[in-house]
Amino acid sequence: MAYQMQDDIREVYFTEQQLADKVAELGARITADYRDKNPLVISVLKGSYVFMADLTRKIDTPCNVDFMVVSSYGKGTKTTGEVQIIKDIEQPIDGRDLLIVEDILDSGVTLSYLMQVLTARGARSIRLCTLLSKPSRRKVDVKVDYLGFEIPDEFVVGYGLDYAEKYRNLPYIGILKPHVYGGEE
């Protein structure tokens, strides 16, 4: 029998329908809050690309999009605490309303740094939309304006989230079997 990515998933945590419902709810809230503001929606790549694509289609007000790659993880599964901007946004942000879209808020180190940098560049306002939050892993307090789901400290993949650049294309979010990433069962 051929290997299937699903073989590495211990359980489905959020189904396609649960994700679609939450994205529609978040999109409606963002639409109401940003009516007539033309926000710049910034996706923190790579993990948020699926979420942002779905979310922006549910925002019913003009907005621009841009992308950043910011990392504090290197190749590991735990943050190093040192943040690097690998790919910066291309649009000027002075006086703009920004909405940062993130896949998962873990330690808070990366997002806290990113928000400080963007504030220093002259953004009028910055709000954060994250699909997932792991409050038990927080090292730095970060205000979340739009939250999809709070989750326990489990290694989740799918819907853009990865392990070693795999599993991003799963249409749901699942918990990865620990033996896949060297954890304990």
Would you state the structure tokens that stand for residue 103, as one six-digit string? 């896949």
State the residue range of the domain holding 16.
Answer: 5-181
Assign residue 150 the CATH number of its domain.
3.40.50.2020
HSE-CB of 92 using CA atoms within 13 angstroms:
2
Tell me the per-residue pLDDT of 17-48, one tens digit each, with 9 for 90 and over: 999 999 999 999 999 999 999 999 999 999 99
- Give the number of other CB atoms < 10 A from CB of residue 155: 16
DSSP 158: B
Active site residue 7: no
Among the listed residues 21, 54, 106, 153, the single catalytic one is: 106
Total number of domains constituting the chain: 1
HSE-CB of 35 using CA atoms within 13 angstroms:
4
pLDDT per residue of the chain (185 residues) written in tens, 0 to 9:
566 888 899 999 999 999 999 999 999 999 999 999 999 999 999 999 999 999 999 999 999 999 999 876 555 555 556 778 899 999 999 999 999 999 999 989 889 989 999 999 999 999 999 999 999 989 999 999 999 999 999 999 999 999 999 999 999 999 999 888 887 66
